[in-house]
Amino acid sequence: METDINSYIQEQFDLKEVDIRTYSPLALAYIGDAVFDLVVRTVVVGRGNTNVNVMHRKTSHIVKAQTQAKMIKKLLPYLTQEEDDIYRRGRNAHSPTMAKNATMSDYRKATGLEALVGYLYLSGQFERILFLIKQGALEIEERI
């Protein structure tokens, strides 16, 4: 029987089921950041075994706040009302930190995108995550 990775992790570590709506937007962004990074790294590695520094530069370019902000701007028309609500909650959350090389606006938009990815991941919607990341890359003409 096939299961999503989050359910499998919960089962293996005996984690309790938590109502996803109780997570703060920053908690969603925290896990969403890792999921977004994992998807991009998987695609970069899957494109061919190359120098690790080259792979790191490519991945870093895609996962940085500026690129994520461009992606979410283009993705807004594709979002459902629920997804848009999650994105806005993440974007409007007051984070105690900020990315080193990003404007506050880009950082907040990126946090919103990461919150959305985290929400989708925790709710078992991995196909939707892949669609949004792929579509976002196409929309900004960025090859992952």
Please identify every residue annotated as catalytic: 33
Q: Are 32 and 122 in contact (CB under 8 A)?
A: no
What's CA 73's distance to the chain center, in Å?
14
CA distance 86 to 83: 5
Q: Which two tokens stand for residue 132?
A: 């949004």
Q: Are 87 and 114 in contact (CB under 8 A)?
A: no
Amino acid found at 106: D
